[in-house]
């Protein structure tokens, strides 16, 4: 018997969960200057490495999370996500010093790791247009990035950095209760469902696709982590005397993320109509000159260059999940996504560790120039993607190949 399609209310909650996932991961980076002052540190760069544990566990936790999502169930794992994220955020708000906060952030990153291998696969497992669903989901996730910039800055200015963790923590717990009430139990976990037709790619081609996907997502993840964790401080430096209030800087940065997030909706729709490789390659190649421009720009030109860069960085995000949907059977998508995320995010999590020392030693100009080089490397890797990705690109072909989720 086929499970009913996902309720719109549950789809909305899954998208909101993506918003909170990215919001929580960037509260620390957005409020780091205020936290450093509260803890008696002279420079925010000296506190930044204490957030590394969150991103390391965001990567490593994806592997067991994906396995549990397939074998235990995606709904119960999402309940763990809501409860764990909300609770660990409240814990972070109460921490008295750098190492205690680092421990709480590491716990937060562990629960945050659940969403991408579990929540996204739950959302798209019966979606008729998976590219569009992934695009909207990406918009929701990066609105969390925008919200971190906007509301964290405002909460820090009005109520202190602890409120920036506590307020969304309470909201996340409330969303978890709503999800528990509205999301129906699964008849059985995905791994126990009847076998489906083989994926579109041959086994050797699938291995090549996943290898390219992992390397490309790791290098793209470096750019994503370096920008989203460093953009706030970069704007503060480049705008200088033009903008001094933290809340105003937060809104300017949030506006960049809000506009850039719309790119994912457009890209998601294009994915449902066109081959993946040429579209992905074009967007990544355009990152190179835009990041190079951001390395040189000053004043309001820096804001515009950063806007263009983030439109392209966010626009590249839907391709990884779209590739998994197109080539991997739903019974094991969470595990495949978890393995890919563990490797890719494990590498890109190092960006949080090096960001503060790198900016302190070389400045944002050098950092953005290096990111332009990373984008060029990513484009070269994508050239190795098998040409079969340029074959049938409609979501209907992917659904026919993987089969709908049944119980």
Under the banding of pLDDT at 50, 70 and 90, the label for residue 4 is low
Radius of gyration (Cα) for the chain, nearest Å?
20
Give the pLDDT confidence of 331-383 residue by residue, as tens digits: 878 888 888 888 887 777 677 677 877 887 888 889 899 999 999 999 999 99
Element of type H or E holding 250: helix 246-271
Give the pLDDT confidence of 149-208 residue by residue, as tens digits: 778 888 988 889 999 999 999 999 999 999 999 998 888 888 777 655 444 456 677 788
Indicate if the pLDDT at residue 112 is higher than 90. yes
Average pLDDT value over all residues in the chain:
85
Question: pTM of this prediction?
Answer: 0.75
260-285 mean pLDDT: 90
Place of tokens 């309940």: 79
Q: Which two tokens stand for residue 148?
A: 């971190």
Please determine, looking at this structure, whether the domain spanning 8-185+196-402 carries the CATH number 1.20.1250.20. yes
pLDDT for position 207:
83
388-394 LR contacts (CB < 8 Å, sep 24+): 388/200, 388/201, 388/205, 389/209, 389/275, 389/276, 389/277, 389/323, 390/275, 390/276, 390/277, 390/278, 391/200, 391/275, 392/200, 393/271, 393/272, 393/273, 393/274, 393/275, 393/276, 394/272, 394/273
Dihedral pair phi/psi, residue 214, rounded to 5°: -65, -45
Q: Which residue has the higher pLDDT, 147 or 102?
A: 102
Q: Which two tokens stand for residue 402?
A: 């993987």
Element of type H or E holding 241: none
pLDDT for position 244:
66
121 closest CA partner among 310, 339, 386: 339
Distance separating alpha carbons of residues 276 and 204, to the nearest angstrom = 19
pLDDT for position 356:
76
């Amino acid at each position: 018997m086929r499970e009913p399609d996902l309720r719109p209310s549950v789809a909305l909650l899954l998208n909101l969960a993506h918003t909170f996932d990215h919001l929580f991961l960037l509260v620390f980076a957005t409020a780091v200057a205020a936290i450093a002052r509260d803890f008696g540190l002279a420079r925010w760069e000296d506190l930044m490495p204490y957030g590394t544990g969150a991103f390391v566990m965001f990567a490593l936790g994806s592997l067991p999370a994906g396995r549990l999502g397939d074998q235990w169930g995606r709904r119960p794992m999402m309940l763990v996500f809501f409860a764990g994220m909300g609770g660990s955020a409240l814990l972070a708000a109460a921490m008295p010093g750098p190492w205690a906060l680092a421990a709480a952030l590491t716990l937060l990153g562990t629960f945050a790791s659940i969403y991408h291998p579990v929540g996204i696969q739950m959302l798209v497992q019966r979606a008729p247009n998976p590219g569009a669903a992934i695009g909207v989901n990406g918009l929701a996730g990066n609105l969390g990035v925008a919200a971190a910039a906007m509301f964290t800055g405002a909460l820090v200015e009005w109520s202190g950095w602890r409120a920036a963790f506590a307020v969304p923590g309470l909201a996340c717990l409330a969303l978890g209760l709503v999800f528990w009430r509205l999301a129906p139990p699964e008849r059985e976990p995905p791994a126990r469902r009847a076998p489906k037709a083989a994926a579109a790619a041959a086994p050797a081609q699938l291995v090549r696709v996943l290898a390219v996907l992992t390397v490309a997502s790791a290098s793209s993840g470096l750019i994503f982590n370096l920008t989203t964790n460093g953009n706030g401080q970069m704007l503060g430096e480049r705008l200088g005397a033009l903008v001094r209030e933290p809340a105003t800087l937060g809104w300017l940065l949030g506006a960049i993320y809000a506009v850039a997030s719309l790119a994912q909706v457009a890209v998601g729709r294009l994915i449902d109509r066109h081959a993946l490789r040429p579209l992905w390659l074009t967007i990544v190649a355009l990152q190179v000159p835009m990041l190079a421009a951001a390395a040189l720009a000053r004043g309001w030109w820096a804001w515009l260059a950063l806007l263009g860069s983030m439109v392209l960085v966010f626009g590249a995000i839907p391709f990884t999940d779209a590739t998994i949907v197109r080539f991997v059977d739903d019974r094991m998508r969470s595990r495949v996504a978890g393995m890919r995320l563990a490797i890719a995010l494990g590498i890109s999590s190092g960006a949080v560790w090096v960001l503060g020392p790198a900016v302190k030693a070389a400045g944002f100009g050098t950092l953005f120039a290096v990111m332009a080089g990373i984008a060029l490397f990513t484009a070269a890797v994508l050239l190795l993607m098998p040409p079969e990705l340029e074959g049938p690109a409609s979501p209907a072909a992917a659904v026919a190949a993987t089969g709908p989720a049944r119980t």
